[in-house]
Structure 1
Amino acid sequence: MKVLFVASEGVPFVKTGGLADVIGSLPRELIKQGVDARVILPKYGDIPISFREKMTYLNHFQVPLSWRNLYCGIERLEYDGVTFYFIDNEFYFKRQGLYGFMDEAERFAFFSRAVLAALPRLAFLPDIIHCHDWHTGMISVFLRSQYQNDPFYTDIKTAFTIHNLQYQGVFPGSILGDVLGLGREHFGLDGIEFHGQVSFMKGGVNYSDLITTVSATYAEEIQRPEYGERLDGLFRHKKKNLHGILNGIDVEYYNPANDSCICKKFSYESIDDKQDNKENLQRIVGLPIRRDIPVLAMVSRLVSQKGMQLIKDILEDMLAMDIQLVVLGTGDRYYEDMFRDAAWRFPDKVSANILFGNTLAHQIYAGSDIYLMPSVFEPCGLSQLIALRYGSIPLVRETGGLIDSIKPYNEYTGEGNGFSFTHLNGHDFLYTLKRAIGFYYQKDIWSKITTNAMQCDFSWYKSAQKYQDLYKKLMYKQQIGG
């Protein structure tokens, strides 16, 4: 089985979010399970020079994009057992940053056309092109509209994964002909039209053979108006072809037993060594060294989606308790200033690290006791899975992948790996936090919860098997003419 992953970012080359982690981990696991999985990405200027110097030039050619005829180069790099291809066009991709430019529609329309045009030059004919998020949504559209009569592409099937429906790639309707080179027959309910505009996300959903998203609960939620971002009706229509598979994490990279970023390695069998990491974290962020109180943590984008308004609602009550709070992340200026102000007012309780720091993130996971993730919505979430791995007990709101991964602790059965609340209000959040802190002081119970958490298996193994099952169904339908 041959699968080509197409995405706008991927670890270790470029990353802005969880999509990059998926692209860096899932193909590697599929290869272990016998799939010939490869990845194709834009060759951004932000890719470190150490990687760019190792890339091998393969070919170059011209890519048609409506009335344009554009240069495209292909380069290749083997990394950690995975073959990565890179689409090279300096005008579109040699910029500082990955996103946020005025010509996003043109950039990623070019990328989509270039991926398809590159296939005959790769000596690799995939059975399935697996596209990820709106940036690749036009691949399935172009495959059906402009390559359907080319025998080379006849048997290729497409899968489209939605990582976050909030970002859809919506552009003015004028790009239909001027940029995409498509006729009006594609501008309708069954095409790429979205309230008079063009939606790359809707194109991926309507034209792909298979649709997935990153947790089973999120696949259900997006069929409802409150989560569907005005596409809920489309997802209800497509529900038989919509599947939710929870993301995994790289359990070798996120492993407290061999993590070089933390001061003392530990596992669930040596959980007492986590306390040394707690002291180290307190020392690093400038908080009083105290083993006797719970350290609460967040490694997050500081935006509304991540539940920052709920944090604001209970912040004063939280800081009235005997706790410490360590925050790492950037986002909306309002929430950044909220945490800066709290750290100024409560220097012995709050450490606000308004930055991105990978090493510090690992140290926070290893040194904290309770991990806060009160998201308004969360398609999958990776932070709670990493927190479990390091014995930082997640406290989450029940939505999306958080429901699918965090099971509330039950004091009667001893089961559960965290704490959760349902309603989007500060009262429920605060009540659940106080409950978690109450169990923290019952050391036998807390040790049980921590052991439960660290023994959870959220590796890619099972999720990769589920993807394989879906791939095989696609190929079987093709063989029987389904």
Structure 2
Amino acid sequence: MDNLKVLFASSEVEPFAKTGGLADVAGSLPKALKKLGADIRVVMPKYKGIPQKFVQQMEYIGYIYVDVGWRHQYCGLLKTEYDGVTVYFIDNEYYFYRDGLYGYHDEAEQFIFFSKALIEMLPRIDFKPDIIHCNDWQTGVVSLLLNAHYKRHDFYKDVKTVFTIHNLKYQGIFPKEVLTDLMGIGWEYFTPDGIEFYDHVNCLKAGLAYSDIINTVSKTYAEEIKYDFFGENLQGIIRKRSNDLYGIVNGIDVEVNNPATDKRLFVNYDVEHLEGKYENKRRLQESLGLPVRDDIPIIGIISRLVAQKGFDLIACVLDEILREDVQLVVLGTGEYQYENMFRCAAANYPTKVSANILYDGTLAQRIYAGSDMFLMPSLFEPCGLSQLFSLRYGTIPIVRETGGLNDTIQSYNEVTGEGNGFSFTNYNAHDMLYTIRRAIHFYYNKDVWSKLIKRGMRQNFSWDKSASEYIELYHKALDKMH
């Protein structure tokens, strides 16, 4: 394959900094693209929270100055190599030496600085990409900045942009003055077809309006977001750009997430030797103080505890779920009402519920490995990775048919024997409850259950196929005339 040059720009990258699925994608997709022959490099902010062992490996390669409004800001450039991929870090302590990644009062300025810096560093590091691949609102203005400021320079005139929406709900909406004061861009871009959004600027919308190609992280979600319910008030511009909109389902890093070698598990196992999975189940029950019982299903939930993830459905029927002979293991943090719901359930049903209101990567893997079922009744789900991790570890997903869940989980059909999980269509608590009961029913049919486990573990959710689709997308961007 020809040597495509790609700069992959993301506000978070696993293992350096992570709040969600974007970091997983930014950590594993570039590796897969590199295997296909692309010269791909990643760029992210140098946050205070990056583990020291990585900071010590960074090589300082110089600095530039970046103008943000009236500020003439220092921008240090560092790089390291991780899993064979070069990662650049944009260093400015004023913007990034803070606890946490997002949610500060000057978020617009932080990520406009990052977007400008990643464009302006390119001549300095002597890397001229064919494509800048931008992700979510934090890099949404890159294509607008290129169009407004940089395309007139020879170095930048042929650079194309691909913009990936990981979650349309988070858009980066700020007062309109940001356009002139921080980006230095004229009002001619402040239009309904451009960055204007209800008299504000919308960074994600800038990515939709000005990037050469747009994609999102599953085929179903790419269709859903054209309509009002999923469109988050951007369905108009999404429909307008629908000829340039594609859906490519996320993969997972199958080397890191491999039950046969994963050091975070109690014991390792593979599809031919499932006794290790049952040992993980026993040890999980033991470690969480639940009765150690082989004969009942554990339902796992690992999630941000927010409305998007379907917790209103669980709230409606939680007592009915817990009247079944099951154990429920929850891991995650989020909105108080949902945290509290699970804490109360654990207090009321101490032998049935383990509520772990925190984030713990090791415990997460142990829940994927030790559970029998994984519950994910999302209201909307651009792609979802948890259902893929579950299948990889032989845990059967129970999902609502939306977005990427619809693309990756096929409901078990007892007539044909096909399927890899259990699913329901309507956003309805009793439909969900019926589906959970259906899963429990088949759990006791050992032939069916063992077939489902093995089928899930044998599926290929690596990045290989999706990475090839991204290469095609890059070529589509390069073929576009401006």
- TM above 0.5, yes or no, is yes
Q: Deviations over 1:210-235 (max 9, x none)?
A: 10100000000000000000000111
Moved more, 346-355 or 175-184: 175-184
Q: 1:323 aligns with which of 321, 326, 337?
A: 326
Residues paired across the two proteins, number: 479
Secondary structure of the residue aligned to 1:253 is coil
Secondary structure of the residue aligned to 2:29 is helix
Residue 310 of structure 1: aligned partner? 313
Q: Deviations over 1:230-283 (max 9, x none)?
A: 000111111100000000000011111111111221112112321111101100
Query: Does residue 231 of the first structure (1) align with residue 234 of the second (2)?
Result: yes
Query: Does residue 301 of the first structure (1) align with residue 317 of the second (2)?
Result: no
Query: TM (normalized to structure 2)?
Result: 0.98
Query: Does residue 23 of the first structure (1) align with residue 26 of the second (2)?
Result: yes
Deviation at 1:148, TM superposition (A): 1.7
Residue 116 of structure 1: aligned partner? 119
Q: Which runs of 5+ in 1 are unaligned?
A: none
Residue 389 of structure 1: aligned partner? 392
Query: Does residue 292 of the first structure (1) align with residue 295 of the second (2)?
Result: yes
Contact persistence 1:2–1:37 (CA under 8 A) = yes
Structure 1's consecutive aligned runs of 4 or more residues displaced over 6 angstroms after TM superposition are none
Residue 351 of structure 2: aligned partner? 348
Contact persistence 1:414–1:448 (CA under 8 A) = no
The alignment yields a C-alpha RMSD, in angstroms, of 0.9
Q: 1:423 aligns with which of 426, 450, 455?
A: 426
Q: Which amino acid aligns with 1:300?
A: S
Instruction: Give the whole-Å Cα distance in 2 for the aligned partners of 1:63 and 1:179.
Output: 11
Instruction: Give the whole-Å Cα distance in 2 for the aligned partners of 1:249 and 1:98.
Output: 23
Secondary structure of the residue aligned to 1:153 is coil
Query: Does residue 155 of the first structure (1) align with residue 138 of the second (2)?
Result: no
Deviation at 1:475, TM superposition (A): 2.3
Residue 70 of structure 1: aligned partner? 73
Residue 32 of structure 1: aligned partner? 35
Q: Deviations over 1:171-191 (max 9, x none)?
A: 011212111111110100121
Q: Which runs of 5+ in 2 are unaligned?
A: none
Contact persistence 1:279–1:290 (CA under 8 A) = yes
Contact persistence 2:162–2:477 (CA under 8 A) = no
Q: 1:209 aligns with which of 207, 212, 218?
A: 212
Contact persistence 1:268–1:455 (CA under 8 A) = yes
Instruction: Give the whole-Å Cα distance in 2 for the aligned partners of 1:148 and 1:120.
Output: 14
Q: Which amino acid aligns with 2:182?
A: V
Instruction: Give the whole-Å Cα distance in 2 for the aligned partners of 1:132 and 1:290.
Output: 44
Moved more, 263-272 or 288-297: 263-272
Instruction: Give the whole-Å Cα distance in 1 for the aligned partners of 2:41 and 2:444.
Output: 49
Contact persistence 2:218–2:250 (CA under 8 A) = yes
Residue 132 of structure 1: aligned partner? 135
Query: TM (normalized to structure 1)?
Result: 0.98
Contact persistence 2:42–2:86 (CA under 8 A) = yes
Q: Which amino acid aligns with 2:76?
A: G
Instruction: Give the whole-Å Cα distance in 2 for the aligned partners of 1:139 and 1:264.
Output: 45
Instruction: Give the whole-Å Cα distance in 2 for the aligned partners of 1:174 and 1:126.
Output: 31
Secondary structure of the residue aligned to 2:229 is coil
Q: 2:194 aligns with which of 191, 194, 199?
A: 191
Q: Deviations over 1:23-63 (max 9, x none)?
A: 10000011111111110000111111111111111111211
1:448-459 residue pairs with structure 2 within 5 A? 448-459=451-462
Residue 463 of structure 1: aligned partner? 466
Instruction: Give the whole-Å Cα distance in 2 for the aligned partners of 1:400 and 1:358.
Output: 25
